Amino acid sequence: MQKILITVAFLFVSLIFSVSCEKHASQQGEPVEALSENTEETKSAFVNYLERGDFPALQERGILRLLAPRGPEEDALPRGGLPQGEWRQLAEKFAFSRNLRPQWVYVDNFAALIPALREGRGDVIATNFSRTPNRRSQVAFTRPLQAVNELLITLRDMDKPLQEVAVRRGSAYAETLQEDTGQPYKVTLLDGAVANSTLLAAVAAGEYQATVMDSNLADALLPNYPQLTASDQLESSRDIAWAVRLNATELRRELNEFLTAELVLAGQNSSKPVRGWENILEGGTLRVLTRNHPASYFIWRGELMGFDYDLLKKFARDHKLRLSMVVPDADMDLTDALQAGMGDMIAASLTVTETRRQQGLVFTRPYLQVTEQVIAPSTDISLQGDVPLEQMLSGKMVAVNPQTSYHESLAEMMLLQRERGVAPIQISEQPGATTEYLIDAVAQGIFPYTVADSHLVAIESTYRDDFRVVAELPNTREIAWAVRADQSRLLEQLNNFLNKHDRDLFFNVTYNKYFKEKKHILRHQENRLRNSDALSPYDPIVHKYTDKTDRDWRMVVAQMYQESRFNPRARSFSGAQGLMQVLPRTAGQLGVENLYEPENSIRAGVAYLGWLDQRFPQNISLEQKIYFTLAAYNAGHGHVQDARALAQQLELNPNQWFGHVEQAMLLLSKPEYYRKSRFGYVRGREPVKYVREIRDRYIGYLGVERNGYLQNVE
């Protein structure tokens, strides 16, 4: 029932938010003067309140208050090279992902941000905020979003020694300058909302000798001031992050999970140049768009599985390709994702329809034939008798996802009913809802009927008896893979594969495993990952040690499975022990013994990840540093540095793992390369495979939405 309530909240989020705002503004907390009215999101002025609680308190209110400076800074170019407004969008996306309404609260300047947060007038400082020692003693920071250098900005032709630097009061720059007691210049602290462009104009006009600005902002703004120049003589680098109250440990964890996922998925799900078969072979990876789905793709005890997944894994292996499964956001149609280049093909139990052909999809030969079945609760006896289906469903409500072929079939039935003077069926559109969820909702009486493909019904019927099939829609449907119209070579290769394995031993064994053999289906469904709240038997211990860091616990669990398959007694040929397969010598240096004890192994593994992370330069992006750290955990920091150096020599990007440093790592198993490296030979395929499989498992975890509300499937 919790799953249903959460889903209903998701579907009717606007209504819930408006009720929540009225309720809490008038009844809960101590009202305080509104700092800012967010006219874009509320029709009436927001009345602020004092709230110092953690994430559960925010969930009860239904609102997330986001703190930012008032005035010109509110619309300034964000840090991190992000386009204007993306910080705002990212913060609001986090709020909506947790079923909270974002409410922006503006303060006068940076100096007022921490007091407002600590006093309970806001929940998250979601702006260009540097992590500094002074601030870290007052607030808890999320994982870094970006690393920047603080640059000194002066006139290009300054004709006298530097005597004064002007910066905003409460800024990280002020803290940097006040720490630098060896400099002879005076620090002038400016009050109020002073924009970066205003400061630059003042320096250009000679009002101030100098100011300080982050490197990315300087890159964007200095071209407008040719008389100014930037230098790194301050030798100061800072991490940019968001901040919460010190006691808001759950909120910080939620933010860290969200931000890490956004970093990883931004690289995985970003639009890329569309590729033909030759480009796929050259790149070495087949990117497949899919959905989390009991027939296509799911996680079972940490392993990636599914009928489509198993078929395509063999196809990829036959062509010496790596297989990368891409699960777009639930609100993004797979056809749009394919056209945008997010993947090379679609494999998601996709029904062949004329509408989809008109959208530009070209289908392979079908590999399954199914019927669309009408589902009712097991107790329902209303649809009985030997009458035509359009009369049987006359006036009935049927819930379906509007992106599925079921919706199209029901729409055709409505036309037929109107032609015959029969009361039309009522289609209840449920955007983003999976077939599994809708069957569950029907079984619980939330909706009277839904429609599902027969192969999905077969899976569901093996482990539950609370629904029944009461009718079948006309015509047999075909299930196929899909490509773009310009991918004739890929289409040819896929059809060759399907023709070769048409009902052969491999196909039949794979088909029976997912659709026929009740024992296997029951085992897979019983242990299939249905939500991301419980990934392993050791989740509480992982939380205990990752919550104190910037690391996403789900990434650690994905790595733990890769290392030991969750076996606490695992031991490698090299002597590594326990869940995280740490060498006793390494663990001893970290102050940990007895690695067969799960808590000790996890503590050592997380600590070692943190040590490795610090070994890489700050100019490596935070997303890429995740992969470099994983590679170093597997192969050793020295070998990864050798691979970075070799990548530079080969004119690859030494700061990007996939497609660059991983390629150099593969070469370090060849004498002509490893003999010239500092740390010598390494089995390069091992760390390359290691990083990819952990990344893919982590993305698989992300694809299973929280609280069991899975993404759209068909």
Q: What is the pLDDT of residue 1?
A: 39
Q: What is the pLDDT of residue 76?
A: 43
Banded pLDDT at 10 (limits 50, 70, 90) = very low
Q: What is the pLDDT of residue 532?
A: 67
Tell which CATH architecture fits domain 2-145+243-252. 3-Layer(aba) Sandwich (3.40)
Considering only CA atoms, which of 67, 53, 55 is closest in space to residue 114? 67
Judge whether residue 599 has pLDDT over 60: yes
What's the burial of 479, exposed, middle or buried (CB within 10 Å: 0-12/13-18/19+)?
buried
The per-residue pLDDT for range 323-373, each reduced to its tens digit, is: 988 888 777 889 999 998 889 999 999 999 998 999 999 999 999 999 999
Banded pLDDT at 680 (limits 50, 70, 90) = very high
Mean pLDDT over 214-237 rounds to 86
Q: What is the pLDDT of residue 525?
A: 64
Judge whether residue 416 has pLDDT over 60: yes
Active-site hit among 563, 662, 705, 714: 563
Judge whether residue 22 has pLDDT over 70: no
Q: What is the pTM of this model?
A: 0.70
CATH of domain 539-702: 1.10.530.10
Residue 513 near residue 283, CB atoms below 8 Å? no
Measuring CA to CA, how many Å separate 90 from each of 78, 587, 676? 12, 38, 45
Among 48-62, 83-97, 405-419, 662-676, name the one with the lowest average pLDDT: 83-97
Q: What is the pLDDT of residue 700?
A: 84
CA distance 104 to 477: 49
Banded pLDDT at 383 (limits 50, 70, 90) = low
Fold topology of 147-240: D-Maltodextrin-Binding Protein; domain 2 (3.40.190)
CA distance 86 to 77: 9
Question: What are the residue boundaries of the structural domains of the chain, listed by start?
Answer: 2-145+243-252, 147-240, 270-368+479-527, 373-454, 539-702
Judge whether residue 574 has pLDDT over 70: yes
CATH of domain 373-454: 3.40.190.10
Active site residue 563: yes
Banded pLDDT at 44 (limits 50, 70, 90) = low
The CATH superfamily of 270-368+479-527 is Periplasmic binding protein-like II (3.40.190.10)
Maximum pairwise Cα distance, the chain: 99
Cβ of 428: how many Cβ atoms within 10 Å?
Answer: 16
Q: What is the pLDDT of residue 127?
A: 87
Banded pLDDT at 4 (limits 50, 70, 90) = very low
Mean pLDDT of the chain: 84
Question: Residue 103's beta-bridge partner residues?
Answer: 65
Name residues whose C-beta falls within 8 Å of residue 149's C-beta, 6 or more positions apart in sequence. 214, 215, 232, 236, 237, 238
Mean pLDDT over 74-85 rounds to 43
Rounded percentage of the chain residues whose pLDDT exceeds 90:
53
> If you write DSSP's letter for every residue of 180-233 in order, what string do you get?
-TT--SEEEEEPS---HHHHHHHHHTTSSSEEEEEHHHHHHHGGG-TTEEEEEE
Q: What is the pLDDT of residue 393?
A: 84
Judge whether residue 5 has pLDDT over 70: no
Q: What is the pLDDT of residue 41?
A: 42
Can 147-240 and 539-702 be said to share one CATH topology? no
